[in-house]
Structures are given as structure tokens and as C-alpha cells.
Homo-oligomer: A and B are copies of this chain.
């Protein structure tokens, strides 16, 4: 089991690359199992064999994009036991980098997720994991700055979740705004979100 796995990996990668390219075309109706197969120079049946269904293929594509967008960095953000506010800033930066890494494709995948429950399930799970991350940070934060009342905690978490979402990033990035600016706008607002509930943390 070696050469074989490599071959399979290459086939899957070729398919996922083709799928991503077709996902970005203006005319999304051009995205079909048949078209992806043709572009990847693979039989349509191979797609079903490897990914089960269209939803399965798109799920795998999201994973693919997450890997390419360096989402592993997220683990490090939590490992370093630094200032919770710094953690929050790093957290925002990691996600902004991810969202920016393949904006068009992610936008389409999110659109599909809100329509097809099969695809939506995977994204929902991701969102819950994201929420857990936010919660962990806020928890640490409220230990250092106890002024954050527990009644406000839920609001703060939801607000940060919203501010670090793809949709927020996408709206702020617009057609040309540079990413560091977007990150600092988001950081500003997250800072405000945790700040207005208690004392100013800086």
C-alpha cells in the first residue's frame, strides 16, 4: 500500500482542482459531475467511486481549500498561552487569511451550503467548531478581565462569531481593500465587542 495510495491521491487532487476551477466560472450551471470529470480527464464513475455524490465531492473540496488556506495554523493560536487579547487577534488573522485564500470558491460553497442540507451539514459542523474556539478565548479572557459579565458573554461570543465569519470578511474586503486593513477593522470591532461589556482591556 504505497504506490497505489499515491495514485489515488493524485487522482483526487486532479478532480478537486478541476472542481474548484469550474466552481469559479461565472456560469455556475456549468458545474456538473460530468464537466468535472471531463476537465480532470477522468471517468464520471470515478467521481462517484471516490466521493460518493456531488455533496461528497463539495465536502472534500472544502477540506482541500482549508488545507491550502493553512488552517492548521489555528491549532498553534491556542497552544501559545499568551494574552487572550493577542490570541483573539491571531485568531482573526488566521481566519482572514483563510477566507482570503480562496474567496470566490468559498463564497460559492457557502451559497451551496445554505441550499443543500447535505453540504450544509459539514459547514455547520465547522461553524460549531469555530464557535468553540471563540468560546474558549472569551472564557480565558473573562478570567483575566472579570468585568465581563456572564450575561453579556453570550452576546460577545455571537458577535465575535459574526465578526469573524466569511460573510463579514467578504463584505469588508469589497473589491479591492487590502487585507491588513480588513483585519484591523475587524480587530477594532472585536475589541469593542469585548470592551463595552466591561472595562477597556488595553
Number of chain A residues whose Cβ lies closer than 8 Å to a Cβ of chain B? 33
Distance of A144 Cα from B155 Cα, bound (Å)? 32
A107: CB under 8 A from chain B?
Answer: yes
- In the bound complex, residues from chain B placing their C-beta under 8 Å from that of A167 are 165, 167-168, 171
A188-B196 contact in complex given A107-B114, A111-B115, A114-B111, C-beta closer than 8 Å: yes
What's the least CB distance linking A195 to chain B, in Å? 10
A113: CB under 8 A from chain B?
Answer: yes
B171 touches A117 (CB 8 A): no
Residue of B whose beta carbon sits closest to that of A196 = B188
Q: How many copies, total?
A: 2
A27-B110 contact in complex given A158-B171, A167-B165, A171-B165, C-beta closer than 8 Å: no
- In the bound complex, residues from chain B placing their C-beta under 8 Å from that of A162 are 168, 171-172
Distance of A29 Cα from B27 Cα, bound (Å)? 20
A108: CB under 8 A from chain B?
Answer: yes
A residues near B (Cβ < 8 Å) are 26-29, 107-108, 110-117, 155, 158-159, 161-162, 165, 167-168, 171-172, 174, 177, 181, 185, 188-189, 192-193, 196
